[in-house]
Amino acid sequence: MEITKFNETIDIWIDELSRFNIWQLKIKPDERSWSLGQLYNHLIEETNWYNDQIEVTLGNEENICKTTSNAAKILFKRGSFENKRFQGDPFISENVKQPITVSKLKSELEQLKKKTNDIWIIIMNTSKLGKSEHPGLGFLNCYEWIQYSEMHMRHHLKQKIRIEEFLKQSNNYSQQGL
């Protein structure tokens, strides 16, 4: 079931957050990379947008006949993003903010999890479900949006590990055992 996997993955992000202080969350491996805090903010912003797209699909049958792209069909069949680094949209990358506090990030993640689970309950009780358009994948239904949200968060776990390795190697970690 899509929501179970989503909850498992977002819980990893929530639980792991306690390992870092705000200073660690703001360190960037280089000028072109995100900090760990920016990565968290990216996930929060994008997943909230995915939830907005899910809400567009609820209670109507708009775009029901429109399809996903072939790339989307492959993505959903595989159940994960390709195991490679993607070049992000520069506009999105340049505008991801640094975190303000660890507690604010945690609160936003917990709110995101609650909102997504509330939407899931609505999905389960809605008879009409349409589709909304993803800029690169075509038209997705609500189930595909939730699956995509989870895959997106899971994909970024690899980036999180790379940033953690940078923190370890550059001695930019605390006594918490990073």
Model pTM score: 0.89
Task: State which fold the 2-22+32-169 domain adopts.
Answer: Four Helix Bundle (Hemerythrin (Met), subunit A) (1.20.120)
pLDDT class for 93, splitting at 50, 70, 90? low
Domain boundaries, the chain: 2-22+32-169
- How is 98-123 classified by DSSP, letter by letter? PPS-HHHHHHHHHHHHHHHHHHHHHH
C-beta of residue 11 within 8 angstroms of C-beta of residue 160? no
Helix H or strand E encompassing 38 = helix 36-57
Give the N- to C-terminal CA distance of the chain in Å, as an integer. Answer: 33
Is the confidence at residue 88, as pLDDT, over 90? no
**Nearest Cα to Cα of residue 151 among 75, 37, 74, 54:** 75
pLDDT in tens, 50-66: 999 999 999 999 999 99
Q: Which residue has the higher pLDDT, 1 or 157?
A: 157
pLDDT class for 76, splitting at 50, 70, 90? very high
For residue 26, which amino acid is it? Answer: K
